[in-house]
Structure 1
Amino acid sequence: MPVTLPELTLPRAAQDLLFREARTANAFTDEAVTADEIRAVYDLVKYGPTAMNGQPLRITLITSDEARARLLPHMAEGNRAKTASAPVVAILASDADFHEFLPTVLPHAPHMRDVLHDAADNRTAMADLNAGLQIGYFIIGVRAAGLYAGPMTGFDGAGIDAEFHAGTNRKTLVVANIGHPTESSWFDRLPRLDDADVITVL
């Protein structure tokens, strides 16, 4: 017998906007998206939790033809056309040097900068995991702004890093096209696992 789930505090229309009716966009109109709109998205989602408040996500916005020409050769062939036509492309990367900000963002334990400085492998793993969390927040923020995201992992990460992150400790995790979708933007929605397949109650 189906279980009746309780209502959530967030209004149904907002739930639909952020989750049920939200889709991954694969084609975009030529309606502009500004860097300030993406800054507003980040200003909302920066409050999502990360370990030690480390905030390792770094975002590079590709808006110019010159920057796009540098990015496209590193994208998988099936992702190039939509990346070429998206109003804005966000390179979402982890920064393994996030610990340099810890005295500011973790003022009660500034010594953690020095602890992590000597633990490069742990620091990199922390950066990747927590930047991944922030990427999830970022996609929800894009939806909250009335925009659509097309996140991709089909690319040459080493090539992108050499092109855009040289001299840093940043690693590209996701490239996301952002804009307003066309009517032909959608693939068929794929099934999601049911809560019974995912949740174990002990």
Structure 2
Amino acid sequence: MTDELSDADLDLIFREARSFNGWHDKEVSDQQIHAIYELLKMGPTSANQQPGRFVWCKSEESKKRLADCVSDDNRDKVLTAPVCVIIGYDIDFHEHLPWLFPHTDAKSWFEGDEEGRKESAMRNSVLQGAYLMIAARSLGLDCGPMSGFDAEATTKEFFADQPQYRADWLCSIGYGDKSTIFDRSPRPDFDKFNQLI
């Protein structure tokens, strides 16, 4: 690929994008949710593992259930958002590798190694959550990622019928209310945390 995104596109996705705490009362449609997923699934994961498991809490009932699992500071961020996504992972993702990665017997790489699968699933599902945020921003939506929640309670509440799934973090999606955010926190220059050797 030789094409580059415009400065306006990069501003939308990265430079001007913010993590929102409050939301305008404007719906995120089912079509927009599907469009986000259709983009995020194209992002690379190791051996195309696709371990991310997503619960899109859009109904008032589902958001109330999720709000019971988050810290007090995050309750409104869940309840007032048009949609709040639980980003989870499947520790048995390897069962799907025969069709997701048919080039070789990748399933055998992970059989009998639950801890290794958990590590790989977490790493790759976090990547997929980042792709989710980039996809949402690319489609004109704002994001509010969160980690202030009870992961075990959320797993029990939303993945009870799928015991191999684990909740990892949350992300509200909608049209952000700029009055609910403070000035952007500092971002380090390249030399602060990088080595080019």
Q: TM-score, normalised by structure 1?
A: 0.92
Q: In the aligned structure 1, how far is the partner of 2:64 from the partner of 2:129?
A: 24
2:44 partner SS? coil
Mapping for residues 109-188 of structure 1, pairs under 5 Å: 109=104, 111-168=105-162, 169-188=164-183
Instruction: Give the partner amino acid of 2:183.
Output: D
Q: What 5-or-longer segments of structure 1 have no aligned partner?
A: 1-7
Deviation at 1:112, TM superposition (A): 2.2
Q: 2:90 aligns with which of 80, 91, 95?
A: 95
Name the count of aligned residue pairs: 194
Deviation at 1:9, TM superposition (A): 2.7
- Per mean C-alpha deviation after superposition, the further-off stretch among 168-177 and 13-22 is 168-177
User: Contact 2:20–2:178 (CA<8 Å) still a contact in 1?
Assistant: no
Q: Deviations along 1:122-147, whole A, 9 cap, x unmatched? A: 00100000101111111111100100
Deviation at 1:151, TM superposition (A): 0.5
2:28 partner SS? coil
**C-alpha RMSD of the superposition:** 1.3
User: Contact 1:61–1:91 (CA<8 Å) still a contact in 2?
Assistant: yes
Deviation at 1:200, TM superposition (A): 1.0
Deviation at 1:179, TM superposition (A): 0.5
Q: In the aligned structure 1, how far is the partner of 2:71 from the partner of 2:122?
A: 22
Moved beyond 6 Å, runs of 4+: none
1:104 partner SS? helix
Q: TM-score, normalised by structure 2?
A: 0.94
Deviation at 1:201, TM superposition (A): 1.6
Residue 75 of structure 1: aligned partner: 70
Calculate percent identity across the aligned residue pairs: 37
